[in-house]
């Protein structure tokens, strides 16, 4: 199927069509010409380890470079084998149907395709941020934190407080793309455990990093602290240093473009009004 996700056109072929037909419905796009990415996943229960010496190893996975082939690298592990060009413009994912571990087959396909998209996005001035993203009066906000801190709860409180002024973008992994000197936050179909995502785009007004507290307080972060929080909530694959360097570079530019805040918060409406007061004082939504 042909889709457009976060401004990236993709020729997408998947295994679990019923699941992805639902997830990708909003992103269907009948574009012409070559796509930005070709993303294919297929079933293969005979995942043979490539010959030769791997260039990188980690636990049960290895990375191999290919000489004289269409694909330039192979990522191999016990339950998947991924062929890709260097810039991830073409990715072929082979998955084993049965595998030990906590994830179902569909979840493994979902995770693998998300990872491939993240890697491709890094070559197109974009990152995926572990956060819950909303649009408030047309301006994007990303609430980022480690799992279990309350990103989704805080986003839902904004919806409760401001109703129709708030639109959900992505509940777990929104895309952020630098374009024309500004940052844009996009929905994409990889939204974690929920299906809360929409094919929308909003200029990113602020990044808000959350931590739990008994009282609500918020302040703007300096550049180095903002960068620290940001890079710790982006995905940088251990097997590809180029993607990692791309993401770090994009993160540095993003911090120069978008203000970042730390919100120490309780899981109630008071936290919303605490950070909203600071954002209004800084006129992040415009004067």
Closest by Cα among 199, 215, 226 to 267: 215
Tokens matching residue 52: 């030769």
Residues 6+ away with beta carbon under 8 Å from 207: 129, 131, 142, 144, 226, 229, 230, 254, 258, 259, 260, 261
* CA–CA dist 154, 169 (Å, integer): 14
- Backbone phi, psi, residue 263, to 5°: -115, 110
Q: Could you give the maximum distance between any two Cα atoms of the chain, in Å? A: 61
Stretch 189-200: mean pLDDT, rounded? 92
Q: What is the pLDDT of residues 11-49, one digit of tens each?
A: 999 999 999 999 999 999 999 899 999 999 999 999 999
Task: Report the share of the chain in percent with pLDDT over 90.
Answer: 84
Are 134 and 167 in contact by the 8 Å Cβ rule? The answer is yes
- Backbone phi, psi, residue 137, to 5°: 50, 40
User: Tell me, what DSSP letter sits at residue 271?
Assistant: H
* CA–CA dist 132, 158 (Å, integer): 11
Mean pLDDT of all residues in the chain? Answer: 94
Closest by Cα among 7, 55, 10, 76 to 37: 10
Domains of the chain and CATH, by start: 2-124 (no CATH), 127-281 (3.90.228.20)
Give the Cβ contact number of residue 141 at 10 Å. 28
Stretch 73-80: mean pLDDT, rounded? 92
User: Tell me, what DSSP letter sits at residue 222?
Assistant: P
Are 170 and 191 in contact by the 8 Å Cβ rule? The answer is yes
DSSP-assigned states of every residue in 61-126: EEEEE-SSSSS-EEEE-SSEEEEE-TTSSEEEEEE-SS-SSS--HHHHHHHHHHHHHHHHHGGGTE
Q: What is the pLDDT of residues 126-168, one digit of tens each?
A: 999 999 999 999 999 999 988 878 899 999 999 999 999 999 9
Burial bucket for residue 231 (CB in 10 Å: 0-12, 13-18, 19+)? middle
Stretch 190-200: mean pLDDT, rounded? 92
Query: For residue 287, what pLDDT is reported?
Result: 60
């Amino acid at each position: 199927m042909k889709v457009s996700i976060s401004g990236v056109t993709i020729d997408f072929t998947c295994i679990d069509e019923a699941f992805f037909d639902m997830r990708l419905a909003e992103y269907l796009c009948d574009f012409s010409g070559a796509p930005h990415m070709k993303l294919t996943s297929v079933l293969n229960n005979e995942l043979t380890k490539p010959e030769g010496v791997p260039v990188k190893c980690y636990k049960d996975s290895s990375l191999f470079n290919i000489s004289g082939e269409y694909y330039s690298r192979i990522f191999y592990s016990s339950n998947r084998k991924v062929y890709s060009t260097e810039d991830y413009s073409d990715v072929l994912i082979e998955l084993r149907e049965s595998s030990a571990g906590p994830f179902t087959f569909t979840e493994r396909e979902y995770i693998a395709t998300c990872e491939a998209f993240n890697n491709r996005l890094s070559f197109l001035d974009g990152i995926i941020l572990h956060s819950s993203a909303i649009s408030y009066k047309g301006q994007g906000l990303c609430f980022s934190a480690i799992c279990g801190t309350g990103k989704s709860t805080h986003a839902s409180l904004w919806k409760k407080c401001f109703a129709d002024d708030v639109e959900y973008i992505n509940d777990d992994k929104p895309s952020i793309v630098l374009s024309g000197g500004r940052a844009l936050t996009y929905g994409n179909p990889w939204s974690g455990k929920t299906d809360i995502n929409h094919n929308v785009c909003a200029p990113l007004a602020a990044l808000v990093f959350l931590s739990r507290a008994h009282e609500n307080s918020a302040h703007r972060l300096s550049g180095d602290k903002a960068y620290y929080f940001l890079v710790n909530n982006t995905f940088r694959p251990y097997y590809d240093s180029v993607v990692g360097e791309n993401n770090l570079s994009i993160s540095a530019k993003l911090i120069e473009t978008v203000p970042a805040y730390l919100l120490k918060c309780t899981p109630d409406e008071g936290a919303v009004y605490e950070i909203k007061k600071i954002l209004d004082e800084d006129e992040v939504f415009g004067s």
